[in-house]
Amino acid sequence: MGYAIETNKISKKYDSFTAVDSIDLKVPRNSIYGVLGPNGAGKTTLISMLCTILRPTGGSAMVNGYDIEKQAKQVRASIGIVFQSRALDDILTGREHLEMHAALYGVPKDIRQERLDEVLDLIALGKKADEYVKTYSGGMKRRLEIGRGLIHHPKVLFLDEPTLGLDPQTRESIWDYIYDLNQNHDITVLLTTHYMEEADKLCDEVAIINQGHIITSESPKNLKRDLKADTLTITVDSPEEFVEKVKTLGFIKEAFLVDGEVKLMVEMGENLIPAVVGFASEQGFPIRSIELEHPNLEDVFIKFTGSKISSEGK
């Protein structure tokens, strides 16, 4: 199968600040690969280097078999990019946006109209093609941006926070669209996200990035399976004291605090709730609330970083 993207110790430094620190990444062809991390983790910087927008200060990378520094032109010709920030002109129609980008990417005039119709059909905007973008919904605008990145038939599509700011229903429709692109059009997708559900639903593999480092990479299924534990989230007075007490219970695999809540990693958590509640009461820590969750990517992230991903951004 080979790799659509492969990096070797790629880094980006700004004076004394290291945004991306010696990252090794291998993205199989025709996969959906997620880079998951909080705001400021280095996700957008990484994508910007892979798209040749930023020059790395160390290491190297190959995209579609091209060196991002030595063969930047070939890289740009073979990729599509949809960044988080909106870049649409409200006084243009959807068709005009696509026509402009087809010309910029050098799509031959004799096939340009055919390509436009193909993309408009793909992004389900054919009936709205000649209406002004200012009349489009948020989901329609996002589909247009993705379509614009596909106009030249790229082999790799980079999506930076593709559903940020969209309502849940629109977000799911964009997920379905991204999945269809990958499955039926042989496009490798690399997306950044801070939405755990998005990474879990879409990605064949995810890399968790924090403070410029790749902490771990694996399929979502394997990452969750490796936890081998359910999570009990407990609200209790004096949580710092309680977390030290509860560690003495033999069935507790891990116990730690996240945002003032006690997190207990246990196996078969539904069977252990009475024992935990009873222990807390005996020790003088009446539990105000307790919630059982089976392993998810949020738990994986907390395990590796000790904190949650902010809901505010990339």
Indicate whether 305 belongs to any domain: no
SS3 state of residue 115:
helix
Q: Are residues 71 and 112 in the same domain?
A: yes
In the structure encoding, which two tokens stand for residue 61, read together? 């990378």
- Asked if the model's pLDDT at residue 312 lies above 70, the reply is no
d(CA 198, CA 179): 11
Is the sign of the CA dihedral 232, 237, 243, 248 positive or negative? negative
pLDDT digits (tens, 9 = 90+) for 261-291: 999 989 888 899 999 999 999 999 999 999 9
Q: Are residues 115 and 83 in the same domain?
A: yes
Q: Are residues 215 and 238 in the same domain?
A: no
Q: Which residue has the higher pLDDT, 86 or 291?
A: 291
Q: Are residues 92 and 62 in the same domain?
A: yes
Q: Are residues 243 and 141 in the same domain?
A: no
- Check residue 294 and give its pLDDT: 84
Residue ending a domain, among 186, 219, 252, is 219
- Asked if the model's pLDDT at residue 227 lies above 80, the reply is no
- Check residue 225 and give its pLDDT: 81
- Check residue 1 and give its pLDDT: 58
Q: Are residues 103 and 251 in the same domain?
A: no
Query: Which whole number is the average pLDDT over 114-133?
Result: 91
pLDDT digits (tens, 9 = 90+) for 163-187: 888 888 888 888 988 998 899 888 9
Q: Are residues 248 and 214 in the same domain?
A: no
Query: Which whole number is the average pLDDT over 58-63?
Result: 97
Q: Containing H/E element for 67?
A: strand 66-67
pLDDT digits (tens, 9 = 90+) for 239-256: 999 999 999 999 998 899
Q: Are residues 113 and 179 in the same domain?
A: yes
Q: Are residues 186 and 260 in the same domain?
A: no
- Check residue 69 and give its pLDDT: 96
Range of the domain at 33: 3-219
- Check residue 267 and give its pLDDT: 87
- Asked if the model's pLDDT at residue 260 lies above 50, the reply is yes
Indicate whether 225 belongs to any domain: no
Query: Which whole number is the average pLDDT over 21-29?
Result: 96
Query: Domain with 250 in it: what CATH number?
Result: 3.30.70.100
- Count of the separate structural domains present in the chain: 2
pLDDT class for 219, splitting at 50, 70, 90? very high
Q: Are residues 207 and 288 in the same domain?
A: no
- Asked if the model's pLDDT at residue 313 lies above 50, the reply is no
- Check residue 134 and give its pLDDT: 94
CA dist 23 → 1, 18, 20, 196 (Å): 22, 12, 7, 21
pLDDT class for 38, splitting at 50, 70, 90? confident
Among 185, 164, 172, CA closest to 80: 185
Residue ending a domain, among 159, 185, 219, is 219
Is the sign of the CA dihedral 82, 86, 89, 92 positive or negative? positive
> What does the mean pLDDT of the chain come to?
90
CA dist 63 → 49, 92, 134 (Å): 11, 32, 35
- Check residue 104 and give its pLDDT: 87
Q: Which residue has the higher pLDDT, 238 or 299?
A: 238
Q: Are residues 128 and 259 in the same domain?
A: no
- Check residue 314 and give its pLDDT: 37
Residue ending a domain, among 153, 187, 219, is 219
- Asked if the model's pLDDT at residue 149 lies above 70, the reply is yes
Q: Are residues 125 and 245 in the same domain?
A: no
Query: Which whole number is the average pLDDT over 123-127?
Result: 89
- Asked if the model's pLDDT at residue 228 lies above 80, the reply is no
pLDDT class for 310, splitting at 50, 70, 90? low
d(CA 256, CA 246): 10
Q: Which residue has the higher pLDDT, 14 or 86?
A: 14
